[in-house]
Structure 1
Amino acid sequence: MEDLGVSILSDHRCHLGEGPAYDAATDTAWWFDIIERELFEARLATREIIRHSLPVMCSMLAPIDDRRQLIAGEDGLYVREIATGRMALHTPLEADSAATRSNDGRVHPSGALWIGTMGRGGERSLGAIYHFFEGRLRRLYPGLSIPNSICFSPDGRTAYFTDSRENVLMRVSVDPADGTPTEEPQPLYGTGEPGDLDGSVVDADGLIWNARWGASRLDVYTPAGERARSITVPVLQPSCPVFIGAALDRLLVTSAWQGMDDAMRAVDPNHGRTFVLRPGARGRVEPHVRLAA
C-alpha cells in the first residue's frame, strides 16, 4: 500500500461528493454534492472554490463547448450555461420514475456519454446504464443496482463499469466510432476485499484508477485485470477520481459521509472533503459530449 501524501483542496464536507470533472481549457475542476443539490467549481490557479445551488440532484458533468456543459440530473440530461448557471432540460432520463436518479457517467472518446441510474436508496436492480450520442438515448444494461466505474480505454475500444452491489469490474468491447458495445460484458476484476468499487478514471497509459468506497484507498488496475497499485487516502469513503492540472499529473478525489453516524464521522475526520494527490501518472483531456451530428 502506497502513501503518497495528500492535500485538501476543499474543506467542505460533501454529504455525497461525486462526479468530478476537469476543464483543461480553463484549468477548472468541478464536482457535485448529489444529495445537497450543489455543484462545486474550483479555479485551480487561484484555489477559489464556488458553490452553485442546483434545482435537482445532479451527479456528473461533461463539456459541450466553451459556453455550455451537459449535466446528468435526477430526471434527465440538462444543458447548463457556464456564465449564468441557467439549466434547461435537454433529454428526459427516467423522468417518469420518482424512485431513481442519475449516478456515475463519463464521455467516450467519440463524444458519446454513458450514464447510469440507480434507486434513490440503492435498491436492488432499479438502475441501468444508458448510451447518449448525438441527441439519441438508449438503454444498454438494465437491472443494475448501483452503476459505477464507467470509463473508457484511450483508444475508445473498451468500456469499463461495475455494479457496486456486485463489486466486479466489467469490461466490454465497444465501437470506437460511437461507443456502442460490440459484445457481451465480461468480468475483469473482482475479489472479496473490503470496500466497494466506486468511481473510476483511465490514465494516458490505459490503467484504471478506482476509488474503493469504505476502504480508504485508490486501486489501479491494468487492462488485463491485474491490480498494479493501491494508494491510501485519508478518508473512509473516497468516491471518484479525475486527473487535473495543466500536465494532468494530479488526481482529484471526492468523498462522502453518506450513511455514517456520528461515531463513524468522529473516527473519520476528513469525511466528505475533496483531496488532491500526485500519483506519478498522467491523465487525458476528457472529451466533449456530442449533442448533435
Structure 2
Amino acid sequence: MSLPQYLLKNVLEARARLGESPIWDSSHKLLYWVDIYNHRVHQFNPATGQNLFFDVGDVVGCIALAGANRLIMAQRDRLAFLNTQTGVVTPIMQVEADMPDNRFNDGKCDSQGRFWFGSMCTVKAQGSLYRYDPDGSLHVMETGLTISNGLGWSPDAKTFYLTDSPVQKIYAYDFDYLTGDISNRRVFVDLTGECFIPDGLVVDAEGYVWSAMYDGWCVIRYNPLGEEVLQVKLPVQRPTSCCFGGQDLKKFYITSASVGLSEEEIQKSFYSGDLFCLEMDVRGFATESK
C-alpha cells in the first residue's frame, strides 16, 4: 500500500493537561473534545479557529453527541448531559460510585445511539465496559479491564474494537448491531514489550484502525488483520485520541496530553496538549446516531 498524502497542522495551541475524546458534529461543523483533569468540554470551530469551553465541575472522561445542542458525558462516577447552548449539566445516573479507585475514561456512541463507555483503575484490574441505551437501561459489557480505552466499530458493523492500555492490547469482538451484543474476544493488536501504549482509536471507511500511541510520538494505522501499515510521526510525545471530521470526513483530528511530563520532556515535546489535524486521502465514516 502506498502511503497516504498528509499535511499536519497544529490547529489549536490548547496546552491541555489531558486532551481526549474528540468528536465531530457534522450538523454544526464543530469539533468537541475534553480536557479530562481540567474538567472542560471544548468546542472548536475549524472555520474560525475559535475555541470555547464549558467547565463541567468534575473529571470528564469522554463525550458523545446526544441530540440537538446536547452531549452525553461520562464523568468520574456518573453519566450526565451537557447543554451546549447554556452549559447546564444534567445528571443521568451514578455508576461505580462505590469504587473510589475507579473513574470513567473513553467512550463513544454506536450507530444505534447506544453510548459505550469504560472505567479505569490504576490499582487493579477492576475496570468495566458499559453500554447505556436510549431507553435508559445500563448494561455491563466487559469486566476485568485495567484502563478501558479506545473503542470503535468496523464499517460493516460486524466488529467492535476495545483497547486496554496498560496490557498494551487492542481487542476485537464480534458485534451484533441490532442487539448491541459483543462476543468472541480476541487480540487484534499486541504491543507487549513496546515503550508506548495504545490509547484512543478510530476506524476509517476502509475498515482500517487508527490508534494514538501514548508515549509513542505517533498514530499507527492497522489493516483489518491487525497488521501495521502506516505510522505517522507527531511532534508530541503523548497523543491520546483521534477522529475524522470536516465536510468530507477527511480531516483527521488528534488530541494530546502534557500531564506527567518532566520539564526536559516538555522541551522536547513543546506542543504537548495541543490539537492537531492531518489532511488525509482516506476518510472516516459516521458511527454516531443523533
User: Given the two structures, how large is their TM-score scaled by the length of structure 2?
Assistant: 0.94
- What's the CA shift for 1:150? 0.8
**Contact 2:4–2:282 (8 Å) recurs in 1:** no
- What's the CA shift for 1:3? 8.6
In the alignment of these two chains, the number of paired residues is 286
d(CA) in 2 for partners of 1:158, 1:91 = 29
Corresponding residue number in structure 1 for 2:50: 48
1:37-63: CA deviation from partner (whole Å, max 9, x where unpaired): 111110122111112211111121111
**Contact 1:6–1:277 (8 Å) recurs in 2:** yes
Corresponding residue number in structure 1 for 2:259: 258
- What's the CA shift for 1:279? 2.6
- What's the CA shift for 1:9? 1.5
d(CA) in 2 for partners of 1:87, 1:145 = 28
1:145-196: CA deviation from partner (whole Å, max 9, x where unpaired): 1111211111221100121111111100011113211x23101111333310
Corresponding residue number in structure 1 for 2:87: 85
1:7-45: CA deviation from partner (whole Å, max 9, x where unpaired): 112112111111111100000001111011111110122
Corresponding residue number in structure 2 for 1:32: 34
Corresponding residue number in structure 2 for 1:117: 119
Q: Does 2:182 match 1:190?
A: no
Residue aligned with 1:266, SS: helix
- What's the CA shift for 1:141? 1.5
Alignment of 1:90-169 (within 5 A): 90-119=92-121, 122-134=122-134, 135-169=136-170
d(CA) in 2 for partners of 1:227, 1:109 = 27
d(CA) in 1 for partners of 2:143, 2:137 = 17
Q: Does 2:204 match 1:203?
A: yes
d(CA) in 1 for partners of 2:160, 2:100 = 29
**5+ residue gaps, structure 1:** none
Corresponding residue number in structure 2 for 1:10: 12
Corresponding residue number in structure 1 for 2:236: 235
User: Given the two structures, how large is their TM-score scaled by the length of structure 1?
Assistant: 0.93
Structure 1 counterpart of 2:97, one-letter code: A
**Contact 1:249–1:280 (8 Å) recurs in 2:** yes
d(CA) in 1 for partners of 2:155, 2:94 = 29
**Contact 1:80–1:86 (8 Å) recurs in 2:** yes
**Contact 2:153–2:287 (8 Å) recurs in 1:** no
- What's the CA shift for 1:2? 8.1
- What's the CA shift for 1:198? 0.4
Structure 1 counterpart of 2:197, one-letter code: D
Residue aligned with 1:174, SS: strand
**Contact 1:108–1:156 (8 Å) recurs in 2:** no
Corresponding residue number in structure 2 for 1:223: 224
Inter-CA distance 83–201: structure 2 relative to 1 (3 Å threshold): same
Moved more, 91-100 or 225-234: 91-100
1:91-139: CA deviation from partner (whole Å, max 9, x where unpaired): 22212222211101111222222211112xx333131111221211121
Corresponding residue number in structure 2 for 1:174: 175
Moved more, 127-136 or 197-206: 127-136
Structure 2 counterpart of 1:71, one-letter code: M
Corresponding residue number in structure 2 for 1:23: 25
